[in-house]
Amino acid sequence: MSHVYSITEIYGSSSESVDDAIRQAVREASKSVRNIEWFKVTEIRGHVQDGEVAHFQVGVKLGFRLERD
């Protein structure tokens, strides 16, 4: 059986870590996007406040399988 996939890009953020930002982005996306099967980190950046890293911001491409009728 073959599959067809679509890709969307989202951004997650976390004050804890890059890993947490990725997990939060995927977790939130999975509430409204079905059949997510993979992700790819496209960008890592952050917000600095008072000389310290305040938030990690991560761009994530999500691949999800399209449903067939």
Q: Which two tokens stand for residue 65?
A: 């399988």
Q: Please give the DSSP secondary-structure letter assigned to residue 61.
A: E
* pTM of the predicted structure, to 2 decimals: 0.87
Mean pLDDT of 18-31: 97
How many domains is the chain partitioned into structurally?
1
Residue 36 belongs to domain with CATH number = 3.30.1660.10
Instruction: State the pLDDT at residue 3.
Output: 85
pLDDT at 1 over 80: no
Q: At 34, phi and psi to the nearest 5?
A: -90, 160
